[in-house]
Amino acid sequence: MAKIIQHWVKRHSFNLNTLYPKVALMVAAEFWEQGDLERTVLDQQPIVSLWRSVLLLERSHCDKSSNPRFSDFVDKQTGYTTKNILAAPLMNGKDPLGVVMAINKVGGNEFSKADEDLFTKYITFATVIALQHYTSYMYNVESRRSQVLQWTASKVFEELTDIERQFHKALYTVRTYLLCERYSVGLLDMTKEKEFYDEWPVKLGDVEPYKGPKTPDGREINFYKIIDYLLESKEEIKVIPTPPVDHWALVSGLPTYVAENGFICNMMNVAADDYFTFQKEAVDESGFVIKNVLSLPIVNKKEEIVGVATFFNRKDGKPFDEQDEQITEALTQFLGWSVLNCDTYDKLNRTEWRREIAAEMVIYQTKATPAEVQQILVRHHTSSCFKETADCDQREMYKLLRANIPEAKDVDLLLFSFSDLPVSELDLIKCGIRCFFELGVVEKFKVPAEVLTKWMYTVRKGYRDITYHNWRHGFNVGQTMFCLLQTGRLRKYYSDLDAFAMVAAAFCHDIDHRGTNNLYQTKSTSPLAKLHGSSILERHHLDYSKTLMAEESVNIFQSLQKRQFETVQHLHDVCIIATDLALYFKKRTMFQKIVDATEPMADEKEAIAYVSNNPIRKEIIMAMMMTGCDLSAITKPWEVQSKVALMVAAEFWEQGDLERTVLDQQPIPMMDRNKSDELPKMQCGFIDFVCSFVYKEFSRFHKEITPMFDGLNNNRVHWKELADIYQAKVDAIENERKRLEEEQAKKATGEDGGEGGKSKTCTIF
């Protein structure tokens, strides 16, 4: 087409210097304005005739005011003076393909009618060539689009297990059809609500709340992973988890802007852009310089932005055009919709995992039977309720239940030194029921006596018969929580409902424990690890406790109002998840600040108001109480602690054996029974690194809890003595080994030197 125009210009003495973008847009705008008028005023579909689209723009004597539509933008930029223009559009039916302009007639002040007629004839040929080029270009575009969608579809349905792998496979496969030098995909964190323990520092004012940009659905914009496809020379793919803010694809702020607003952004000239902070120089050691950028959101079926795809530098050097936008938009839309496949697959998997876990629970656990309940709710001939339990008045049932459970003072329930070792498991169930009566919550919250008994018995049966994390440990944690509230006088910060929920959660905190820790669940790829991403066992214990709440016959919270029941469930969340020691170091600094704040308060009412009027402080103390309860065996009298420590170690060694035999891995020293002699030394380290802080701070917080700290220190003395004895034996063995080595070395030296160390060649007189 260009050759035809040039030939025509040479023959007819026209000066064709350049194509003016502003003038071309002006011509097209006039056509569109007429079309709008035909639609709105005449109610007709506009038809633009090629022959009527030739415009003659004359500027007599260079008078710029002769035609108000003319823009002198290019003249000012280039210094060229435009006197007259002959322009015509190249049409494809109703759609303009472009504009041809002849500028400044040579040898004349204006284009004549003959010039227009001749120009129109050449425009006919130019249109044919333009249509040929346009058809070829659109064929290429549609071919690319179909290839992109076809290959994307094949890879999307090939990978259903993981959205990251799904995106990666699809985007890598279509790289040859995208015609760009680089592209980068940022995956957004889909978390809408933070964990409650991550919100504590913000709510306490220790950490500034997030003030950055958010997605349209309210999520904080956090690119948790970036996948870079570097195609400008040697193909290279880089996967960057938790990318830094100065990553070359993010530093401009464009992906964040797209994620915030959901816009498609086509930056045709990065160097001239002032809104975003693009790097004007090379972005890395390869010398790659960003020239133009096309960035699009990846949106799923729920209209949530799950990521941002950004394409850099079209290969032919031109800016990305409308066709590029359509191809990449189709790609990102397809990827966004395909997220539904991953979500559905994940939901199916989670359903299957829950079914497996539920089936395992059902097989292993059963609810308390009537015969087992009657072991506690036994009726005497002297009782006024000598009839079926269902026919008894609830007050009579309470009286009957109280008569069959021990008094708190008779079994030392209110002492931190309580030991379960001389108590039978059935009697521990009775002692657990006594705790609730002592709290005064049974009658206040209308807990049926039979339901309370069934619940307590079912919780006991929920614990597996394993070495340490069994019902006895579960009871000890519940008893310690009860003791902290009553004897430790922490009850004053909490309502009766809080105390009810806290003690119940403490009894359930390790229910259905398997005798192995969270790390083993992950390594062995157990269904629990697949279901829960963090605090694996703790979340399982929580789910189990809520399962009991869903069963009417064993739900001790059945008489609560809806809001009260929701409070109980939330407190179970706080208490049971808090027993994960991995979270211990997150919460202990916050607890220490509360202790520092209340310690100088002389007025008890001031301290109570400081804690009880702030729900977050109450939860932090509650969480630390659960840690103190869970570790309380370390504070018991030495006669008890030494036995319990051996049970804990035995369970660890059993896990170590599993790691060797099942996982074919070497266990850590704490789990290695071959290093059992180092138990005293490891106990001292555990006390110093983990336990000491808990009980020291609690003894500062409430002096009534000091006996626990004293017990801890006393046990450390005993463990240190045993550790020193063991170390002395190790040192003696080492010294003996060195002595034998030295003797062997001396003998070897004597043999080399001859008999008695004398020379065989010289005699000294």
Residue 764: strand, helix, or coil: coil
Backbone angles phi, psi at 511, to 5 degrees: -60, 135
pLDDT at position 138, please? 78
The Cα–Cα gap between 421 and 440 comes to 27
| Residue pointed to by tokens 């010289």 | 762
The reply to whether 75 sits in an annotated binding site is: no
- Res. 172 pLDDT band, cuts 50 70 90: confident
> Is 402 known as a binding-site position?
no
What backbone torsions phi and psi does residue 58 show, to the nearest 5 degrees? -105, 140
Q: Is 34 annotated as a binding residue?
A: no
Q: Does 217 count as an annotated binding residue? A: no
Q: Confirm or deny that 510 is annotated as ligand binding.
A: yes
Could you tell me the pLDDT band of residue 559, with boundaries at 50, 70 and 90? Answer: very high
What span, in angstroms and rounded, lies between the C-alpha atoms of 312 and 265?
A: 12
Q: Is 469 annotated as a binding residue?
A: yes
623 vs 465: CA distance, rounded Å: 27
Q: For residue 155, which of 171, 132, 144, 143 has the smallest C-alpha distance?
A: 171
Whether residue 619 contacts residue 193, with contact meaning beta carbons closer than 8 Å, is answered with no
Is 573 marked as a binding-site residue? no
Confidence band for 134, pLDDT divided at 50, 70 and 90: confident
78, two tokens: 């280039």
Q: Give the whole-angstrom CA distance, residue 574 versus residue 501.
A: 11
Residue 541: active-site member: no
- Per the document, the length of the chain is 765
Domain 370-721 falls under CATH 1.10.1300.10 = yes
Phi and psi dihedrals of 369, rounded to 5?
-85, 160
Task: Supply 436's token pair.
Answer: 């609730």
The full set of domain ranges for the chain reads 1-111, 160-199+211-348, 370-721
**Could you give the residue ranges of the DSSP H alpha helices within 234-291?**
254-261
* DSSP category for residue 313: E
Is 572 assigned a ligand-binding role in the annotation?
Answer: no
State how far the Cα of 389 lies from the Cα of 700, in Å rounded to an integer: 48
22 pLDDT higher than 50: no
User: Average pLDDT of the chain?
Assistant: 84
- For residue 524, is pLDDT > 80? yes
CA 725/CA 723 separation, integer angstroms: 5
pTM: 0.68
H helices of 688-705, in order, are: 692-701
630 is annotated as contributing to ligand binding: yes
Identify the CA nearest to 269 among candidates 589, 100, 637, 21. 21
Asked if pLDDT for residue 519 goes beyond 90, the answer is yes
Distance CA 454, CA 376 (A): 10
Longest CA pairwise span in the chain (Å):
141
Range name among 82-96, 279-293, 576-590, 698-712 with the lowest pLDDT average: 82-96
- Tell me the CATH class for 160-199+211-348: alpha beta
| More confident of the two residues 349 and 310 | 310
Q: How confident is the model at residue 62 (pLDDT cuts 50, 70, 90)?
A: very low
- Backbone φ, ψ for residue 674 (5° rounding): -70, -10
CA distances from 311 to 148, 185, 237 (A): 15, 9, 14
Residue 139's pLDDT is 75
Write down the pLDDT at residue 504.
97
Q: HEC states along 487-541?
A: CCCCHHHCCHHHHHHHHHHHHHCCCCCCCCCHHHHHHCCCHHHHHCCCCHHHHHH
CB atoms within 10 A of CB 213: 13
Q: What burial letters (b/e) apply to 242-272, b meaning 16+ CB within 10 Å?
A: ebeeebbbbbbebbbbbbbebeebbbeebee
**Would the pLDDT of 151 be above 70?**
no
Query: Mind listing the pLDDT tens digit for each residue in 193-231?
Result: 888 888 899 889 888 888 899 999 999 999 999 999 998
Region for 92 from its dihedrals, namely left if φ exceeds 0, alpha if ψ lies in -120 to 50, beta otherwise:
beta
Task: Kindly name the residue from 61, 380, 381, 469 that is annotated as catalytic.
Answer: 469
pLDDT tens figures, 457-505:
999 999 999 999 999 999 999 999 999 999 999 999 999 999 999 999 9
Rounded CA-CA distance 467/25 in Å is 83
Give the mean model confidence (pLDDT) for residues 509-520. 95
Task: Report the pLDDT value the prediction gives residue 247, as an integer from 0 to 100.
Answer: 94
Condensed to tens digits (0 to 9), the pLDDT of residues 401-459 reads 999 999 999 999 999 999 999 999 999 999 999 999 999 999 999 999 999 999 999 99
Contact 629, 508 (CB under 8 A): no
